[in-house]
């Protein structure tokens, strides 16, 4: 949107006539914010806020918060011990084990595969074949 000389003079005229920024925007086919921004850049006279405060309205006072006991007054409570793990990981003596989940995590017999994992991967060769799709396999399927 460009501000032509005609639009600028119309903005000045409507602003001086007392139209609101949203009304001027509707008349010129631009947003209210575009009108406010251009009026600001043109250094047109600032408008008073349309929000009127009722001077008779009672002021709300904040209720003071009750004071909290200091650190010395608070009872010392020991943190509960961490819960035991719900799932077991079968460990390999040879190194890292496969972390492929087997079963439903909500069931008691849920566990991880536990077979020897491939170096640099969290899964054994069988589960790596299922988890990772190589570019060659993907291209074979597309053909």
Question: Is residue 26 in some structural domain?
Answer: yes
Q: Are 29 and 10 in contact (CB under 8 A)?
A: no
User: What residues make up the domain containing 25?
Assistant: 5-41
Whether the per-residue pLDDT at 116 is higher than 70: the answer is yes
Neighbouring C-beta atoms of residue 129, cutoff 10 Å: 13
**11-39 pLDDT per residue, tens:** 999 999 989 899 999 999 999 999 999 99
Number of domains in the chain: 2
Whether the per-residue pLDDT at 53 is higher than 90: the answer is no
Question: Is residue 51 in some structural domain?
Answer: no
Spatial separation of the C-alpha atoms in residues 38 and 48, rounded to whole Å = 17
Query: Tokens standing for 26?
Result: 């509707």
Beta pairing, strands 101-102 & 111-112 = antiparallel
Question: Is residue 77 in some structural domain?
Answer: no
């Amino acid at each position: 949107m460009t501000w032509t000389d005609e639009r600028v003079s119309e903005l000045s005229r409507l602003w001086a006539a007392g139209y609101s920024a949203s009304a001027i925007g509707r008349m010129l086919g631009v947003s209210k914010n575009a009108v406010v921004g251009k009026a600001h850049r043109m250094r047109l006279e600032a408008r008073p806020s349309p929000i009127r405060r009722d001077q008779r309205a009672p002021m709300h006072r904040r209720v003071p918060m009750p004071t909290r006991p200091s650190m010395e007054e608070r009872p010392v409570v020991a943190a509960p011990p961490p819960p035991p793990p719900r799932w077991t990981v079968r460990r390999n003596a040879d190194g890292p084990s496969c972390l492929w989940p087997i079963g439903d995590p909500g069931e008691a017999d849920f566990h991880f595969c536990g077979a020897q994992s491939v170096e640099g991967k969290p899964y054994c060769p069988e589960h790596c074949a299922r988890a990772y799709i190589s570019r060659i396999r993907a291209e074979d399927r597309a053909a």
